[in-house]
Structure formats: structure tokens, C-alpha cells
Amino acid sequence: MMGGVPDNASPTIHAAALVQRPREEMLREADESQDDEIDALEIFEHIRHINDPEHPNTLEQLKVARLEDIAVGADDTVTIHFTPTVPHCSMATLIGLSIRVKLLRALPDKLKVDIFVAPGSHASEHAVNKQLNDKERVAAALENAKLLEVVHGCLNGANGPNAGS
């Protein structure tokens, strides 16, 4: 939590999704000699355990990140829509930045990742989306030591299997 009064003092907490790959697919993914396609579930597995900056809960538990809001295109594009818990969420850009940093660290460089707040879910949707998908703005944000410390807190505070990676 960043301190101060949260935008949503008592968010709804949801149970974690019970999504799991079939055994054969898990064995194929573990085999480093085989190329495997990155799919929406793999992206979700990377971001589901990111902690919310205001609450001791994950993006999955708050339904900020959902599997059905992730698309992987045949042209090496990944599109993620996330839903802040309230339309005036002041942490939306920070959440999107945390998702971007996590995926920059976890995915191959060949993938183009676009991150958006879900349509109609935020009062400043256009401005947030512009910030999250502008390379120069993202680079400038990541040069801010204090902001980067908060992002690392969101990533390293996660309890999932991909925590901090």
C-alpha cells in the first residue's frame, strides 16, 4: 500500500480462478527443446499475482486482471485490458506500469504488448491508455527511482510462482 486513503477503501475480494493447463500441455511447456506459442493463459499467469498498490491483494483477487481480457495475436501482439476497482482510481497508471514491467521482464522482446484500461472503466481512460502505451513516457517513468520502488513492491510482494520475475 502506498499510504494515504485508498480510492476504494473496501474493494470486493474474489477467489482465484481455477485455470490450469492440461497435463500434456504442461509437459510440453516444460520441455525446453520444443518451441511453444505464448497464449493468454501464460500472460495471465505472469500478471495474476501482481499486488495492487493500495491493497494487500493481487490483481486477480480484485478482478483487475482477468484471463478473458487478454488476447494474443498471430502477429506477435499481446493486448491486455485491466479494470480498476473504481472509475476514478488514481493508481490505474501505476497498475498498468506494473503489468508492463512484469511482462518486459518475462516475455521475449519480439512481442508487442499493448495495455489498456477496459473501455468505460476509468474516468480518464484515454489519458491513462496514452501514458501506458507511449514508450518515452514509460521510459521516463522507469527512471523515477521512487516510482520504480513502488512498482517493484507490487511485483515482489506477490505470493505467486512468478513473484518478482
Q: Kindly report, residue by residue over 38-48, the tens digit of the pLDDT.
A: 899 999 999 99
In angstroms and rounded to an integer, the radius of gyration of the C-alpha atoms of the chain is: 16
pLDDT for res 16 = 72
> Given pLDDT bands bounded at 50, 70 and 90, which one contains residue 114?
very high
- Give the span between the Cα atoms of 106 and 44, in whole angstroms: 12
pLDDT for res 49 = 93
pLDDT at 164 exceeding the cut of 60: no
- 70, 40 contact by CB (below 8 A): yes
Q: At what angle do helices 125-132 and 135-143 cross, to 10 degrees?
A: 80
Q: How far is CA 150 from CA 8, 106, 119, in A?
A: 18, 19, 26
pLDDT at 18 exceeding the cut of 70: no
pLDDT for res 161 = 44
